[in-house]
Structure 1
């Protein structure tokens, strides 16, 4: 592993996101508290993507993933989901359509070598049932959409590439099968597979036929399967946010995915704590929580009181290393005198003035329009 990535891993470990297990018998990476919170947000974005999909929830825990890439169409799980599509969602039982489900493995021999997750892996699976004569067309469209999706959440979109799948044996390659991986590259030495896409023909079986959405004619569709290994993909995005080449030690996480979207800090003018300033901080904490913004809670009361500029700078440094996009700064004189406060950006490290009456709508619009 390159020195640059090693430094990123150490920084992410010290911030409580992930931990390298290279010094154990099982090399790889595991997520820590903040990393798990980030993974949860990535999972939520996957759930909200393509909202018209049928979602079958989570399937029972699986001990291992022994199937090769294209054999899923012969599994009991796949046949069960196809049957449920027809029985429980007749309005969506047509071609094209798509279904989602999640599953976990206690062990997965994945494509990411030292970036493999060392504990249970969550797979986010989407199956696209498409017209057989338009299979390749849909496959290329899904490739493009998926790559753009990953680039959108990246601090360095150029690191993502579509890479042809390296078939290990001819037995893997079924009739008319296609496969690619979407990979995140970290220099010339390391890359992480964030999504696997496969185009597979279904068995010639009437059980798998669907009516064409336009003509009603019964078709044997092709299926495009997308598989995202959540924890390794989370590690890739975290490394992406750390490996940005800037002088600052900020973690440039996407605003939507950041586990904590905003923090609150106040600076006192005197040694004695102002009850009015504390009340205002508590009020702003309640306002932002009520707006369902994810707050960065360094202190039990939900905000940080700094006695001087040095303490305030330390707070900003800690927030930046946790990837918090914004910090609301309350100056005792301004905030209590005219209701003005500063909104500091992690990315620019600049602040803009905002009035208390404009919160939380101003922040919500920032995240909504991202």
Structure 2
């Protein structure tokens, strides 16, 4: 039986210390408010992967609900407003005239942002962000008749998205609906629950189209349903979730959003083969990078004994790398190598000729 490496964190301050130690972000906490957030070396890749998966899901959210992203409007200029894009879609796409559709929008916030309401009374955790946080918005335009159906459907789909990439899918809840009858708006938030409290991670709001612009209302689209998450908040939540789910110090990051998807190591007690093995490891890394697999390159990638390699496994498990490849002297003779899975700690044998097909399939599935 594996020996437990550490006591699982319970306090928010304990979680934040692990985040700092693992080079994701450093932050302070005061009265349930996470502040002075400084993102470290592993977070840019993590944020980029989260944003890509968000865009993919926004476009796939519903077969009958076509969604357009910014790239589809570049020929008309880079600074089109939401309503200008809306008008273009109605003009050029006949399908959009008769069915609901969505517009994705990535917006750089230009001032300090406060997420949630920090409170000692109800254990709600707030997050204070500086340095131009990035908002991921999707505006769905629907008819008044369909608005209730889509309001609840989009809530379910967005909750399922968070569950898909979480190590603990059961931590997500949808708040009660808040309604403003005077403004004709409804809103909910998706929350992540932790031992130390709850974090607001996404808002979903339904509002009349004419609340944005009185001239935008049409017989085809009378309501907006807007979903909003903040890239930095998504990164923070993902890291906290992966720490909370780990039993032995590992970060259980989903393979599609982990900042590094694989590492490549070599091992041999025979110093005469070390250079050849290092070259083989570099070659394998190059092949994987050509297949769009992100590789964590480290200076200490060659080991002379198993205990040193196992210690390295603990280090990369702690930052959430899902897979490792290990080559040894047998690899030089027959082309076989070991592929280790972070979550099971088990290894399977694969051949170098299968590398370009087998590894990418793991991350595409």
Cα 1:271–1:56 shift into 2, 3 Å: closer
1:1-370 to 2 correspondences below 5 Å: 3-22=10-29, 27-51=35-59, 52-56=66-70, 77-87=81-91, 92-105=96-109, 106-111=111-116, 113=118, 114-164=126-176, 173-187=181-195, 189-203=196-210, 207-210=215-218, 218-246=219-247, 248-299=248-299, 304-332=301-329, 334-369=330-365
Q: Offset at 1:226? A: 0.3
SS of the aligned residue for 1:43 comes to helix
Question: How does the TM-score come out when normalised to structure 1?
Answer: 0.82
Look up the match of 1:67: none
- Deviation per CA, 1:198-230, whole angstroms, max 9, x where unpaired? 1112229883245xxxxxxx3342110001111
SS of the aligned residue for 2:23 comes to coil
Q: Distance in 2 between the 1:313 and 1:34 partners?
A: 22
Q: Distance in 2 between the 1:242 and 1:112 partners?
A: 23
Cα 1:355–1:85 shift into 2, 3 Å: same
What are the ranges of 5 or more consecutive residues in structure 2 without an aligned counterpart? 1-8, 60-65, 72-79, 119-125
Look up the match of 2:76: none
8 Å Cα contact 2:114/2:127 also seen in 1? no
Q: Offset at 1:175? A: 4.3
Q: Distance in 1 between the 2:235 and 2:338 partners?
A: 31
Cα 1:165–1:112 shift into 2, 3 Å: farther
8 Å Cα contact 1:96/1:130 also seen in 2? yes
8 Å Cα contact 1:30/1:117 also seen in 2? no
Cα 1:220–1:365 shift into 2, 3 Å: closer
Cα 1:174–1:263 shift into 2, 3 Å: farther
Of stretches 128-137 and 93-102 in structure 1, the one that deviates more from structure 2 is 93-102
- Deviation per CA, 1:167-211, whole angstroms, max 9, x where unpaired? 7xxxx5544421110011112x4211111001112229883245x
8 Å Cα contact 2:210/2:217 also seen in 1? no
Q: Offset at 1:280? A: 1.6
Q: Offset at 1:22? A: 3.6
8 Å Cα contact 1:250/1:322 also seen in 2? yes
8 Å Cα contact 1:179/1:198 also seen in 2? yes
8 Å Cα contact 2:112/2:128 also seen in 1? no
Q: Distance in 2 between the 1:367 and 1:255 partners?
A: 6
SS of the aligned residue for 1:294 comes to coil
Question: How does the TM-score come out when normalised to structure 2?
Answer: 0.83
Q: Distance in 1 between the 2:221 and 2:56 partners?
A: 28
The count of corresponding residues between Structure 1 and Structure 2 is 334
What are the ranges of 5 or more consecutive residues in structure 1 without an aligned counterpart? 58-75, 211-217
Q: Offset at 1:108? A: 1.7
Cα 1:130–1:250 shift into 2, 3 Å: same
Look up the match of 1:64: none
CA RMSD of aligned residues (A): 2.7
